A = this chain, B = another copy of it.
Amino acid sequence: MVTKQYTGTPDEQADLRRADSLGREIFSDVANKWALLIIEALGERTLRFSGLRDEVEGVSHKMLTQNLRMLERNGLVVRTVHPTVPPRVEYTLTEAGRGLRATVDGMCEWTYRYFGHIEDSRRRFDG
């Protein structure tokens, strides 16, 4: 994901490059503020579009749809349309999505844990 050194037979090298490029692509999709906040907001729940907009503070209509499409494309959320009037669309994490959520949880815990450290460091740096 980070280095550009490849070893092994030419075929293996090609595989590694393919994997690496896809990995980088996935990483770019997922290492993004809104995507992670949406995943964290979904958690174990099923939420509707409007529910998500309320839960993920500050997200715009556009960013929400855009990121939901991306997450659906990558198989991290499933989108269920109930053909009623008015329409009702529900979003849930897949197993892969829940897997990612576990690591996002880790990031949140990390944030709380080092809160003070970060606040101090910022004050020192800024002053």
* Chain A residues engaging chain B, CB cutoff 8 angstroms: 1-4, 19, 22-24, 26-28, 30-33, 36-37, 40-41, 55-58, 72-75, 96, 99-100, 102-103, 106-108, 110-115, 117-122, 125-126
The 7 closest A-B pairs by CB, nearest first: A75-B121, A103-B106, A73-B125, A96-B114, A31-B33, A2-B41, A103-B107
Q: How many copies does the complex hold?
A: 2
Listed by A's residue number, 17 A-B pairs whose Cβ atoms lie within 8 Å are A1-B40, A1-B108, A1-B111, A2-B40, A3-B55, A4-B57, A26-B115, A27-B111, A74-B118, A74-B121, A74-B122, A75-B120, A75-B122, A96-B114, A96-B117, A100-B107, A100-B114
From B55, B73, B103, contact of A110 by CB (8 A): B103
Residues of B within 8 A of A30 (CB): 107, 111
Q: Helix, strand, loop or mixed for chain A's interface?
A: helix
Residues of B within 8 A of A28 (CB): 33
In angstroms, Cα B28 to Cα A41, docked, is: 16
Contact B75 A118 (CB under 8 A): yes
In angstroms, Cα B2 to Cα A36, docked, is: 10
